Amino acid sequence: MSRTRVIACLCALCLVLTACAPSFSVFGPANRPYREQTLSGSAGGGKVLMISIDGLISEHGSQGFLRNRPSTVESVATQLRLARRDKDIKALLIKVDSPGGTVTASDVIYHEIMAYKKVSGVKVVTAMMGMAASGGYYVSLPADRICALPTTITGSVGVIFLEPRVAGLLDKIGVGVDVSKSGAQKDMGSPFRPATEEEKRLTDELVKAEAERFTGLVRERRRLSPEAMATVATARVFTAEQARKLGLVDSVGYLENAVAEARSLAGLPPDARVVSYRRDPAPEASYYSAGMEAQQTPPALLSLGLEGLLPPRAGLYYLWMPGLAR
Residue 11 binned pLDDT confidence (cut-offs 50, 70, 90): low
Q: Is residue 97 part of a domain?
A: yes
Q: What is the pLDDT of residues 86-116, one digit of tens each?
A: 999 999 999 999 999 999 999 999 999 999 9
Tell me whether residue 165 is in a domain: no
**Is 34 a member of any domain?**
yes
pLDDT at 48 over 50: yes
Q: In the structure, what pLDDT confidence band is assigned to residue 31 with cuts at 50, 70 and 90?
A: low
Predicted pLDDT of residue 305: 40
CA 316, CA 323: separation in Å to the nearest integer?
Answer: 16
Measured CA to CA, the distance from residue 50 to residue 150 in angstroms comes to 20
- Cα–Cα nearest to 321, from 151, 98, 170: 98
Instruction: Inform me whether the pLDDT recorded for 118 exceeds 50.
Output: yes
**Number of Cβ within a 10 Å radius of residue 8:** 12
165: confidence class by pLDDT, cuts 50, 70, 90: low
Three-state DSSP string of the chain: CCHHHHHHHHHHHHHHHHHHCCCCCCCCCCCCCCEEEEEECCEEEEEEEEEEEECCECCCCEECCCCEECCHHHHHHHHHHHHHCCCCEEEEEEEEEECEEEHHHHHHHHHHHHHHHHHHCCEEEEEEEEEEECHHHHCCCCCCEEEECCCCEEECCCCEEECCCCHHHHHHHCCCCCCCCCCCCCCCCCCCCCCCHHHHHHHHHHHHHHHHHHHHHHHHHHCCCHHHHHHHCCCCEEEHHHHHHHCCCCEECCHHHHHHHHHHHCCCCCCEEEEEEECCCCCCCCCCCCCHHHHHCCCCCCCCCCHHHCCCCCEEEEECCHHHCC
pLDDT tier for residue 173 given thresholds of 50, 70 and 90: confident
Q: 169 lies in a domain?
A: no
Q: Is residue 190 pLDDT above 90, yes or no?
A: no
Region 247-271: mean pLDDT is: 97
Give the residue-averaged pLDDT of 190-219: 88
Judged against a pLDDT cut of 70, whether residue 263 lies above it is answered with yes
Q: What is the mean pLDDT of residues 185-197?
A: 76
State the pLDDT at residue 299: 42
Least confident range of 25-29, 229-233, 265-269? 25-29
Domain count along the chain: 1
- Residues annotated as catalytic (active site), given as ranges: 134, 186
Q: What is the pLDDT of residues 122-150, one digit of tens each?
A: 999 999 999 999 999 999 999 999 999 99
Of 102, 97, 113, 112, the residue nearest 53 (C-alpha): 97
Provide the pLDDT confidence category of residue 29 given band limits of 50, 70 and 90: very low
Among 82, 155, 153, residue whose Cα is nearest residue 120: 82
Task: Establish if 193 belongs to a structural domain.
Answer: no
Cβ atoms 318, 102 nearer than 8 A: yes
Domain span holding position 256: 26-155+236-298+307-324
Residue 12: inside a domain: no
Does 183 map to a domain? Answer: no
In this predicted structure, what is the pLDDT of residue 256?
96
Confirm whether 81 is domain-assigned.
yes
For the ranges 13-17, 88-92, 173-177, 229-233, the lowest mean pLDDT is seen at: 13-17
CATH number of the domain residue 130 falls in: 3.90.226.10
